[in-house]
Chains A and B, each alone.
Chain A
Amino acid sequence: MLPRRLVRLVSLFSRFPGVGEKTALRFVMQLLTDKSGLAESLASELSDIQTSIRPCERCRNLAEVDPQGRALCSICLDPQRDNTKLCVVAKVQDLMALERSHVLKCRYYVLGKLLSPLDGISPEDLPIVELAKLIASDSVKEVIIATPPSVDGEATALHLVRELGSLGIAFSRIASGIPHGGDLEFSDQITLGRAVLGRRPLEIDK
């Protein structure tokens, strides 16, 4: 069968989410047959990934450590960003999705977790003190809470508002419902129901 080293490599690749043994084997075969230096590039990128990439000191987005040993992400370093708005998300992937939308030109804060006592995540595990500090230092006027529309996401949003309510700033919550260009006909009943319940009034043009 496969040489032992390859078996080891396959089992390493199959530890990734969404990668089964077959896909892992395809990765390994690609590395073996590639002529463009894929294996070397991959090796050098991977060797120090955990020391050179760290959560951003301000917002906990992923950031590259600079020569001075500081980690600030590209969004926090961007002077064009609107400091008065701060968007709070559960995880880095959510931040990336929002960035792709190009709607928000603000700064972010990544919570890293959602309130979930059943999974052992208590209120004191949420980085609320850090978030409050950031709001004060950036003179934020509005916090946009973009946690997911689940029980845990909803509870986290309510808890944040309650905890940060005394700061005298505005809070908003992202809407949930039918995706743009989505066909009502093909929406599942739950999404559709939510969209109807969360409907907004239309202004009459005068």
Chain B
Amino acid sequence: MITPLKFERVTARGLRNLHPTELDFSPALNVFLGDNGQGKTSLLEGLCVAATGRSFRTDQIREVIQSGSAGLSVSVQVNDDGFCREQSVTIGAKGRQASIDGKRVASMAAYATHTPIVVFFPDDLDLVTGAAATRRSLLDRIALYTNPISQEWRLAYVRALRHRQRLLEKSCDDARALHAFEAIIVEQGQNYARAHSEAAQSLCRHLTEIFDVLCVHSLSLEVKFAGVELANAEAYRQELVKRRAGDRHRKRPSLGPHRDDLHLSLGGRSARHHASQGQQRLLALAIKLAELKCIQVARQAHPILLLDDVVSELDLQRTVSVFEWLRDTDSQVFLSTPRQDVISALAITKKEQRTFSVADGQIQHKSCP
């Protein structure tokens, strides 16, 4: 039994350009309508901060604080299979603090996976067109749910890798100390690589399925996990030894799961270089929906979906197929758009829909059209 998970209410103060806000949500579909720069994305960002302590727009969390405001406080009431809890994040002079039902949490990493959410926003096009690091963080994020200890593997692996690189670059050829770090790299790297490959397997399975549903003209998608084979510990260790000189020269380590990637191709050609903008966008969206499915399976809960300006650049047919997907999902959806016509098109989802108008930092509940 997969448990439903819903945001029931949000309270936000000091968030970007928004006035102090308190909103009650529909358990199914929530739409934020307004022109550009009015605060739609900021509201979605606030929900993301409340659920994870992080923003999808910036790594500098203080940028989320309204200019002139001392701090930010945003809390959501989460309905988790009938039980309610209050999750709050405040960012102020004391830094970032998160609490659940008024109790401070010790680990931000654990807090971030408490109420799983999946965000799609325009920059996510990078999943298709950007550097490998973007796709790697996707795999890291999925692994966080499928195998929580993978986070520790990754941190240990990266630290050992950086220690080794520093030793190499000091051109201190102390083979013995290098050996110590390489032993840790092999142990943690094998674990981390396995976590990546499991996450990739789960993602590939769901991604091809979802892409078939979304893509109207059948376009064959091929997803391939590009990671090196590291199952043999001794061979891995020897390869690291062999690459010492090269790694020193290039100033970066050349072997291991920190270079893993996903290769995406459409109709046999690289999606990054040959797909149209619209196809790339649809593929990026499909990846996020597949991420949602992976988390859903791992956590046995329906993650909450935040979609920022999802339909721009999609043609009518594809917009319809995306909305049909939204019709069939059990996840609660938050969707922002500047287009009035999207509201009526969303009627095909036949969901209890709540529409909010966003203007000049003020958000108001509109009665259903």
Contacts and interface: CB of A to CB of B under 8 A. Distances in A.
Interface stretch (B63-71, B86-94, B177-185, B197-205): B177-185
Contacts of B174: 122-124
A202 interface: no
Interface stretch (B115-123, B155-163, B233-241, B301-309): B155-163
B47 to A, nearest CB: 25
A115 B179 CA distance: 12
Interface string B109-131: 01000000000000000000000
A115 B166 contact: no
Interface string B82-108: 000000000000000000000000010
Nearest to A163: B176
Contact of A159 (B152, B162, B180): B180
B184 A117 contact: no
Q: Which residue, of A115, A151, A190, has the highest number of chain B Cβ atoms within 10 A?
A: A151
B4 interface: no
A148 to B, nearest CB: 12
Given A188-B107, A188-B110, A193-B149, A117 B180 contact: no
A155 interface: yes
Contact of B148 (A123, A155, A189): A189
The contact size tier of chain A is 20 to 34
Contacts of B160: 151, 155
A117 B166 contact: yes
A4 interface: no
Nearest to A160: B180
Given A123-B174, A189-B149, A193-B149, A118 B162 contact: yes
Contacts of B162: 118
Interface string A70-95: 00000000000000000000000000
A107 to B, nearest CB: 24
B152 A190 contact: yes
A154 interface: yes
Contacts of B172: 122-123
B266 interface: no
B156 A151 contact: yes
A117 B163 contact: yes
Interface residue SS majority, chain B: helix
Nearest to A126: B177
Contacts of A116: 163
A194 to B, nearest CB: 8
A159 B110 CA distance: 33
Contacts of A115: 163, 177, 180
A180 interface: no
A122 B167 CA distance: 8
Contact of A162 (B163, B179, B184): B179
A20 B139 CA distance: 42
A156 interface: yes
A151 B186 CA distance: 12
A123 B163 contact: no
Interface string B170-196: 101010110111011000000000000
A190 B152 CA distance: 7
Nearest to A165: B176
Contact of B166 (A118, A159, A193): A118
Interface string A148-179: 00111011101100110000000000000000
12 contacts: A117-B166, A118-B159, A122-B172, A124-B174, A151-B160, A155-B160, A155-B181, A159-B177, A162-B176, A189-B149, A193-B148, A193-B152
Pairs A-B, 9 closest by C-beta atoms: A123-B177, A193-B149, A158-B180, A117-B166, A159-B180, A155-B180, A151-B159, A117-B167, A189-B148
Interface of B: 107, 110, 148-149, 151-152, 156, 159-160, 162-164, 166-167, 170, 172, 174, 176-177, 179-181, 183-184
Interface of A: 115-118, 122-124, 150-152, 154-156, 158-159, 162-163, 188-190, 193-194
Given A117-B166, A117-B170, A159-B176, 6 more contacts: A118-B162, A122-B170, A122-B172, A151-B160, A152-B159, A154-B184
